[in-house]
């Protein structure tokens, strides 16, 4: 991908970057480690973004 991105594309990528966080520790603690991984977690190299 080019280093010069358009504004809308950059905003979409920023949103996906914010969504790509781990499950908070307090959620794991509250659910007795039932939810340890995020079902919508995405790997930058493996999984593509639908744009």
Nearest to 35 by CA among 47, 24, 48, 44: 24
Distances in Å between the Cα of 8 and the Cα atoms of 11, 21, 34, 37, 40 are 5, 22, 37, 29, 22
User: Residue 41: pLDDT above 70?
Assistant: yes
Each residue's pLDDT tens digit, 2-23: 789 999 999 999 999 999 999 9
Per the prediction, the chain carries an average pLDDT of 91
Dist CA 8 CA 34 (whole Å): 37
Q: What does the pLDDT read at residue 50?
A: 81
- pTM, rounded to two decimals: 0.69
**pLDDT value for 1:** 64
């Amino acid at each position: 991908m080019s280093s010069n991105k358009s504004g809308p594309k950059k905003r979409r990528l920023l949103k996906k970057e914010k969504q790509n966080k781990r499950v908070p520790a307090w959620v794991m603690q509250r659910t007795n480690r039932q939810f340890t991984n995020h079902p919508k977690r995405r790997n930058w190299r493996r999984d593509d973004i639908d744009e």
